[in-house]
Structure formats: C-alpha cells, structure tokens
Amino acid sequence: MTTDASLAPADSAPSAAEALRRLRDLPSLPDAVGELLTLMQREDLDTRQLAERLALDQAVAARILRLANSSFYGLSARVTSLQQAITVLGVHSIRTLVTAIALTGSLRVPEAAGFDLRVFWRHSLAAAAAARALALRQRQNPDSAFTAGLLHDIGVPVLATSFPAEYAAMEAWRRAHASEQRAAEQACFGFDHAAVGAALAGHWHFPPLIQEAAARHHDDDWQERSPALTVHLANLLAHGLEPAPPAWQALNLERAAWQESAAQSARDCQAMCQVLLN
C-alpha cells in the first residue's frame, strides 16, 4: 500500500492488516435468500414447495411476478402465479431473479462514503442485461451471465461499506487527479474492487465462472471467448464503450449483432430498473 502523499490520502488509508481484517468480515446474503438459493440447487426440487416458499415473502413474490410479466422476458401470455412463473421461466431464471431482488434490496452503504447506490445498481443491471443479451448470441448460459454481470462491480460498494471515510477520500483524490477508479483504488488501498468482488462471490458460494468474471471484468488481453469475456464486454456496453482489439477479435461477433445486443440490453435494463429500483 502506497505511503506517498502525492499519490494517495495515506493518512486516511487503512493499513494492510486492517484492510484484511475488515474484508474477512464480508457481508453475507440474507438468511432467507440463502435458504432459497440452496433450495433451488437441489436435484429433487419440488416446484410446488419452491412456490410455497417464495410466497412467504410477499415483496419477493410480487417482484418475481412483475418481472415475469415485464418486457425483459417478453412472454406472450400473462403469468398469474408463482407456480406458473417457475414452470414458464424455469428454476434457473427464478434463481436469477431472486438473486437480483435480494441484492438490490438488501445492500446498504454508510452515508459517509458518499456513494450513490442507485447509480451503482443501474449500471450493474445494465451490465447484467448486456451479459444476458451477449450470452444468448454465444450459446452461453444467459442466467449465469446475467448473475455474473450483476455481480461484476460488487466490490465497489463493499469497499465503500468497509471503509466509508477512506472511500470518500479516495473518490476525492480520484476526481482531483482525473484518475480511473481502479487506479485510484490501487493507489489508496493497495487493491481494487475487482479483487474484492471476486472474493465476495466466492464467499457467497457462487460458481468459479462468476468469481472469474468479477476478477477479470477490466482485463483487456483476451485470447478466446469465455463467460468472463462476456461480462467484460457487457461492462463496456453498459458504459457505452468499444472493446479493445484483442477482446473484439476473441468475441468474433458481427458489428450489427453487437449493436443489436446493445439495443436489447438497454430495453431489458429499463424493464428491470422499473421493477427493482422503484
């Protein structure tokens, strides 16, 4: 961790030992959500039991039905019950929705950090929608891609929550130096949100591909297509940026398909935000 005052607010930065101690105490998913996600991993899952369990949380149940009937899925017939939603969308999609609902509704960041949680979730949902749209074109699992896109930046609010005063100082330093966020994090903390996000995804027992996507979503050097590359590209789409040549070559996607994915993800993001952030 740097101690150069010209590079970072060293007086307010945590020591390496303190950073490790705080980040070991990573937040856990809400108990009810953890139970639901565990239930949905069972091979002998009874969908009626799942519907009954979902119905116990009226807020979650209502949002699942609203999302099922939104343009995000574009179903031709209206979904009127949780059992129907599970049947039509499938357990994997329901798991994706439960994860999105839980994360957007439960995360809290201290005001001292000066962190705009709503802006963060809008970007995360935009990246999730873009990852899903790109995955569908590359024969990857769209639900896993959506979850990976949703979690790709989760290390940012974890830093803001674990170090609110230091995070605010880092943001002030970033603006003063016109620095990119990761460079500011490295200068001020000695690590960045990608590493923290990968650690949190592992702490929540998400699959390795989701952990890798969080760790590598800012990488530029790609040799072949992978779910991690999909999330990297989704992050760029959400920011309105173009891929670097190695990523574009590895993607092997026509320009028209890229533009169509961008348009689709923008529509999907709007639909998700109307349900999850309002």
Convert the pLDDT of each residue in 196-208 to its tens digit.
899 888 888 888 9
In the 8-state DSSP scheme, what is residue 242? P
Is the model's pLDDT at 55 over the cut of 80?
yes
Residue 17, Cβ neighbours under 10 Å: how many? 8
Exposed e or buried b per residue across 98-120, where buried means at least 16 C-beta atoms within 10 angstroms of its C-beta: bbbbbbbeebebeeebebeeeeb
What torsion do the CA atoms of 150, 153, 154, 159 make, to the nearest 10 degrees? -170
Mean pLDDT value across residues 115-126: 95
The rounded radius of gyration (Å) of the Cα atoms in the chain is 19
Is the model's pLDDT at 263 over the cut of 60?
yes
Longest dimension (CA), the chain: 61
HSE, side-chain direction, 13 A CA sphere, residue 244:
10
Convert the pLDDT of each residue in 129-186 to its tens digit.
999 999 999 989 999 999 999 999 999 998 998 889 989 999 999 999 999 999 999 9
Distances (CA, A) of 26 to 36, 110, 251: 20, 15, 34
| Fold category of 16-276 in CATH | Hypothetical protein af1432 (1.10.3210)
> Domain coordinates of the chain in residue numbers?
16-276
In the 8-state DSSP scheme, what is residue 191? S
Residues above pLDDT 90, as percent of the chain: 56
Is the model's pLDDT at 94 over the cut of 80?
yes
Q: pTM for this structure?
A: 0.88
Q: In degrees rounded to 5, what are phi and psi of residue 220?
A: -110, -20
In the 8-state DSSP scheme, what is residue 70? S
